Amino acid sequence: MRVLDLGTGTGNLAARFAAFACTVIGVDFSSEMLAAARRKVPDARFVRGDLTGGLDLLGDERFDLIVSAYVFHEFDLSTKVSILKRFVRDHLTERKRMIIGDIAFPTVKEREEAHRRWAAQWDEEEHYWAADEAIAACEKAGLQARYVQVSCCGGVFST
Ligand SMILES: C[S@@+](CC[C@H](N)C(=O)[O-])C[C@H]1O[C@@H](n2cnc3c(N)ncnc32)[C@H](O)[C@@H]1O
């Protein structure tokens, strides 16, 4: 299986797939992170690039699975959706599987409650997901997504 890991960091997620003999490409805009990833996962290929820009380095390469962990909270909702749309269109095979794990809440209301509860720890510059608004925005953009809450503040989206 060919796997693309967006915002691969030090390659934690890439390593899981490389261990199953997948062909793995990790993308990140930090050369320090990529240096660590190359040491940790020598069998994978790592590419430097900004997810918010065009990733010319990937050319027309397509993947069976696109994954990402703890990255998309960096982007506001419309940026999230436009990145997802671009990767689904340009880099997924027909099977179209994308799995995104991140800091997330089931609804906008629950995110607001969490914001009040954890105000001291909340990073105001980050854009934690609310699944209800994200799924609606994805559907409007032609992407069908499902969501599973896996902890008090973490969840997984999949197409
Ligand atoms: C919290 S780390 C997560 C790393 C890895 N996915 C993991 O779970 O261990 C977030 C990563 O996203 C990368 N990142 C953030 N914004 C990015 C962007 N616009 N383009 C590419 N990489 C980005 C950061 O450099 C960092 O390595």
pLDDT value, residue 54: 67
pLDDT value, residue 53: 87
What distance in Å separates the CA atoms of residue 6 and residue 4, rounded to the nearest whole number?
A: 6
What distance in Å separates the CA atoms of residue 99 and residue 156, rounded to the nearest whole number?
A: 7
pLDDT value, residue 122: 96
Ligand 1 neighbourhood includes 8 CB (under 6 angstroms):
yes
Q: CATH number for 2-158: choose from 2.40.37.10, 3.30.200.20, 3.40.50.150, 1.10.443.10.
A: 3.40.50.150
pLDDT value, residue 55: 66
- pLDDT beyond 90 at 95: no
Ligand 1 atom nearest residue 12's Cα: 9
Model pTM score: 0.96
